[in-house]
C-alpha cells in the first residue's frame, strides 16, 4: 500500500545563503530569492490540494547570526507580509504565524496580526509560518501551561496524557505533518517541529531553497507516495487494512 497526497507538508527552507554565495551575491539576495520561491511553492501546494503547509522561516537560534542579517531578514519578512497578504487572501489562504513574537520588532508584530486577521476565515490552504520558533520552546511552553493547571489544583500530575501535552502545542488544531522536506543538503531537524515529526516521512534534498521548484516538489511528493507508513505495525497488517478498506482480496 502506498500513501496518497500528504495533508500536511512541513519544510525547512535552507540554502539561501549558499545560493547567493555561489553567485557572488550578498546573503540577503539569497533570502529575497527564497521569498520568491515561497510564493511559488504556496501556489503549487494550494493547486495540489494540500491542506496545511508549514514553513520554517526563522528559528529561535537564528538570532545568533550577524545583527545586520537578522535585521534584513526582519525587514524582508515585513515587506513580504505587506505585499503578499492581499494575494493570499484572494486565493483563500489562511495565514498563521507560530513562534515567540515577543522578540520581534513592533512593526513586524503589527504586520503579522493584520495578515492573520485578514485571512482568518479562509479555508483553501492553511499556511503556517514558523518564525522565532523552536521545537523545544513549543514543548516547554506547553509543559508550563499544564504545570499551571496542576498548580491551580485543576489537574493531577498522574492524569497527564500524551494528548493533553499535544493539545497545548502551537499546531494542536492541524493534522501532524505527513511529509517533512529539508532543502540545502543538511540532514537534521535544527529544532523545528520536534513533537509533531514523530511519525512524519522525512525527505532531504541537496537542492538549495531558491532552486527548489515545482519539479523538485513533485519529486518529494512522489517519494512520499511510494512509502509505506507503518506507525509501529507490520507491513502485512497495513496491507490487510488497506485491502479491507478498498474491498480487494
Ligand atoms: C535558510 O537559509 C534561511 C534562514 C535560516 C533564515 P540559510 O540562510 O540558512 O542558508 P545557508 O544555509 O547559509 O545556505
Ligand atoms: C534552519 O536552518 C532554520 C530555517 C531554515 C529557518 P539553519 O540554516 O538555521 O540550520 P542550521 O543552523 O544549519 O542547523
Ligand atoms: Mg542554513
Mean pLDDT of the chain: 96
3-state secondary structure of 121: coil
Q: Is 192 within 8 Å of 135 (Cβ atoms)?
A: yes
State whether the beta carbon of 191 lies less than 6 angstroms from ligand 1: no
Residue 105, in any domain of the structure: yes
Taking 60 as the threshold, does the pLDDT of residue 2 lie above it? no
Determine whether the shortest distance from the Cβ of 227 to ligand 1 is under 6 A: no
Q: Give the residue whose CA is nearest to atom 14 of ligand 2.
A: 190
Residue 169 included in any domain: no
Average pLDDT over residues 133-159: 98
Ligand 2 center to 18 CA (angstroms): 12
> At 248, is the pLDDT very low, low, confident or very high (cuts 50, 70, 90)?
low
Q: Are 159 and 103 in contact (CB under 8 A)?
A: no
Structural domain for 49, as ranges: 8-134+177-227
Residue 241 lies in a domain: no
Cβ of 84 less than 6 Å from ligand 1: no
Beta strands in the chain (DSSP E): 8-12, 52-59, 93-98, 125-133, 179-182, 201-204
**pLDDT higher than 90, residue 3:** no
* Residue 97 within any structural domain of the chain: yes
- Considering 16, 62, 159, 191, which one is annotated as catalytic? 62
Order the strands of the 93-98 sheet from edge to edge: 93-98, 125-133, 52-59, 8-12, 179-182, 201-204
pTM above 0.85, yes or no: yes
Residue 108 is assigned to a structural domain of this protein = yes
Known catalytic residue at 75: no
Residue 172, in any domain of the structure: no
> Is 210 close to ligand 1, i.e. is its CB under 6 Å away?
no
- Name the band, by pLDDT with cuts 50, 70 and 90, for residue 247: confident
**Domain count across the chain:** 1
SS3 of 157-172? HHHCCHHHHHCCCCCC
Condensed to tens digits (0 to 9), the pLDDT of residues 153-195 reads: 999 999 999 999 999 999 999 999 999 999 999 999 999 999 9
pLDDT of residue 1: 44
- pLDDT of 21 reads 98
The answer to the question of residue 143 being in a domain is no
91 annotated active-site: no
CATH code of 69's domain:
3.40.1180.10
In a domain, 123, yes or no: yes
Amino acid at each position: 500500500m502506498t500513501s496518497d497526497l500528504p495533508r500536511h507538508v512541513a519544510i525547512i527552507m535552507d540554502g539561501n545563503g549558499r545560493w547567493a554565495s555561489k553567485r557572488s551575491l550578498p546573503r540577503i539576495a539569497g533570502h529575497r530569492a527564497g521569498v520568491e520561491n515561497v510564493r511559488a511553492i504556496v501556489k503549487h501546494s494550494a493547486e495540489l490540494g494540500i491542506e496545511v503547509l508549514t514553513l520554517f522561516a526563522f528559528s529561535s537560534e537564528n538570532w545568533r547570526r550577524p545583527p545586520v542579517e537578522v535585521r534584513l531578514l526582519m525587514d524582508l519578512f515585513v515587506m513580504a507580509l505587506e505585499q503578499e497578504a492581499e494575494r493570499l487572501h484572494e486565493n483563500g489562504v489562511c495565514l498563521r504565524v507560530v513562534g515567540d513574537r515577543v522578540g520581534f520588532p513592533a512593526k513586524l508584530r503589527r504586520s503579522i496580526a493584520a495578515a492573520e486577521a485578514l485571512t482568518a476565515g479562509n479555508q483553501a490552504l492553511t499556511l503556517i509560518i514558523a518564525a522565532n520558533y523552536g521545537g523545544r520552546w513549543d514543548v516547554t511552553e506547553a509543559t508550563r501551561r499544564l504545570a499551571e493547571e496542576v498548580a491551580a489544583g485543576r489537574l493531577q500530575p498522574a492524569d497527564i496524557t500524551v494528548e493533553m501535552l499535544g493539545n497545548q502545542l502551537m499546531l494542536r488544531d492541524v493534522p501532524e505533518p505527513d511529509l517533512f522536506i529539508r532543502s540545502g543538503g543538511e540532514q537534521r531537524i535544527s529544532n523545528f517541529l520536534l513533537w509533531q515529526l514523530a511519525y512524519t516521512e522525512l525527505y532531504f534534498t541537496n537542492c538549495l531553497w531558491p532552486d527548489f521548484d515545482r519539479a523538485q516538489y513533485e519529486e518529494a511528493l512522489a517519494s512520499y507516495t511510494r512509502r509505506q507508513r507503518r506507525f509501529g505495525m507490520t507491513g502485512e497488517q497495513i496491507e490487510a487494512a488497506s485491502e479491507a478498506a478498498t474491498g480487494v482480496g
